[in-house]
Amino acid sequence: MLKPLSKAQADGDHIYGLILGSAENHGGRANSLTAPNPKAQAALIRSAFEQAQVDPRSVSYIEAHGTGTPLGDPIEIQGLKSAFQAAAQGEALPTGYCGLGSVKTNIGHLELAAGVAGIVKVLLQFKHRTLVPSLHAKEINPYIDLSGSPFYVVQESREWVALRDDAGRELPRRAGVSSFGVGGVNAHVVLQEYRSAEPARAKVVVTPQRPVVVVLSAKQEVRLREAVQRLLAHVERQGCTDEDLADIAYTLQVGREAMEVRLACVVSTLEELKAKLAQYLAEAKDIDGLYRGEIKRDKETLALLADEDMDRTIDAWLSKGKLRKLVELWVRGLAFDWARLYDGEVTPRRISLPTYPFAKEQYWVPQARMLFAPGKPVGEELHPLVHRNTSSLAEQRFSSVFTGRSSSLRTTW
């Protein structure tokens, strides 16, 4: 999740955004949980800006904590106004250039996860260059005064237009994320969209003589089939080409966990990959270059794979380009570090690809069975023989009502 920028660039990771600075403080004693300290919040945000070395005029969105209370929200806005004014060091700020929003209007309060939820929202807005509205914000709290301030509430989806400096140069999109703990702790993070300044990475050339291995795995066969469907839909929707094939293969190799049910394709073109995956979905047999395996069924193979000589054998296969032999063992349970395929060579990039297709199963507590005495319910059944706790302060007592339908009284002859 978090890496120094230079390390992420060297590893070819997909970079969603940069953390320019952060700050934490405590609001001290307060009259109530809904009445935080605006001076502490202002000092917090100013400290984060100073650490990030950013001008408040370059920050065009704030993901507010958003307590959702009549008093807490105006206090937070007052803290933001004070922080921006102080960080501007006496210079006048433009009005209405910095959007305000809170993910809590979409998903509620998440306690310890509230701050990271706000960060995820900002990163998604960076990705799509779009500011999304806060729900239920058409009518602004009358105690919130934004007139003459840098802020406006994002009430409808809009393009996130990049700000420009005095010379007219486009600035990277920047945002702040606030999160305040129920015990008085305050935190603020300054984020910036990632714009690569490094030279373009050399593309890995895929040829019939140097094919790639595209791997997919899941917990069950039905999940694997859905993963295949998602990948096919993604490459069609994104308009992927043969130039993307090495990045697709690399991302699936090093960016996904290898699970029990496995599939691998040895291909040299994107059309070849799509054809093999489509054949698999059509339940075709003996597909050339496509390998399937399930670890639970190949337990006997695992002992062979653990042999100390196997590593030397794999090195020999790699040096001779015998990928198919390697793939045959991988689908049967071989634990293999795919980064070994790229030792001393150009490493492809990690890219955004569909994630694991979790089963959409619900696990609601089943509705408790109700026992009915003649004409009225008597409560929830605790046990076949002990139905209700009817204790009082005077005594401990349990009650049961038995009918001809009671399972404890039925006898099977």
Is the per-residue pLDDT at 124 higher than 90? Answer: yes
Is the per-residue pLDDT at 277 higher than 60? Answer: yes
Task: Identify the pLDDT of residue 376.
Answer: 46
Average pLDDT of span 381-403:
84
Is the per-residue pLDDT at 35 higher than 90? Answer: no
374: pLDDT confidence band, cut at 50, 70 and 90?
Answer: very low
Distance CA(296)–CA(304), nearest Å, equals 15
Burial class (CB in 10 A: 0-12, 13-18, 19+), 305: middle
Task: Identify the pLDDT of residue 101.
Answer: 95
Average pLDDT of span 121-131:
96
Distance CA(226)–CA(232), nearest Å, equals 10
* pTM for the predicted model, two decimal places: 0.75
Is the per-residue pLDDT at 299 higher than 70? Answer: no
Average pLDDT of span 375-395:
75
CATH numbers and ranges of domains, the chain = 16-192 (3.40.47.10), 212-342 (1.10.1240.100), 364-413 (no CATH)
Is the per-residue pLDDT at 413 higher than 50? Answer: no
375: pLDDT confidence band, cut at 50, 70 and 90?
Answer: very low
Q: Which residues contact 243 (CB under 8 A, 6 or more apart)?
A: 203
Is the per-residue pLDDT at 274 higher than 90? Answer: yes
Task: Identify the pLDDT of residue 298.
Answer: 62
Is the per-residue pLDDT at 373 higher than 50? Answer: no
Distance CA(233)–CA(226), nearest Å, equals 10
**Per-residue pLDDT tens over the stretch 160-209:** 999 999 899 999 999 999 998 878 889 999 999 999 876 666 778 888 88
Distance CA(132)–CA(31), nearest Å, equals 34
Task: Identify the pLDDT of residue 297.
Answer: 66
**Per-residue pLDDT tens over the stretch 261-273:** 999 999 999 999 9
Beta carbons of 372 and 378 less than 8 angstroms apart? yes
Kindly tell me the sign of the dihedral angle through the C-alpha atoms of 213, 217, 221, 224: negative
Task: Identify the pLDDT of residue 34.
Answer: 64
**Residue 25: strand pairing partners:** 186
Is the per-residue pLDDT at 130 higher than 70? Answer: yes
Range with lowest mean pLDDT among 317-321, 370-374, 384-388 = 370-374
The β-bridge relationship of strands 261-267 and 290-294 is antiparallel
Tell which phi-psi region holds residue 320, choosing left (phi > 0), alpha (psi between -120 and 50) or beta.
alpha
Is the per-residue pLDDT at 296 higher than 90? Answer: no
By percentage, how much of the chain surpasses pLDDT 90?
Answer: 53
Is the per-residue pLDDT at 372 higher than 60? Answer: no
- Average pLDDT, rounded, for the chain: 87
